[in-house]
Amino acid sequence: MSNFNSGSQEVIDERKLSAENPVAKIKALSMEKRATNKLRMDVHLYDKNMRDIESYQIG
């Protein structure tokens, strides 16, 4: 879990630097987008698995 916390801290630090370094801002936004997409996929797979389990129990 400590890796996740340090990763989110890096994003915040890069945002502070973004005023003088636009590359850091782009990198931080890219990291956030990847994390959001991964979370969205995890939720999608969870929903799909739950539907599969429910249909198996009913059928």
DSSP secondary structure letters along 24-36: HHHHHHHHHHHHH
Residues of the domain holding 24? 2-58
| Identity of the residue numbered 18 | S
**pLDDT value at residue 58:** 73
Which residues in 12-35 are b (16+ Cβ under 10 Å) and which e?
eebeeebeeeeebeebbeeeeeee
Whether the predicted pLDDT of 35 surpasses 90: yes
Q: What is the pTM of this model?
A: 0.49
**pLDDT value at residue 8:** 52
DSSP letter (8 states) at residue 21: -
Structural domain count of the chain: 1
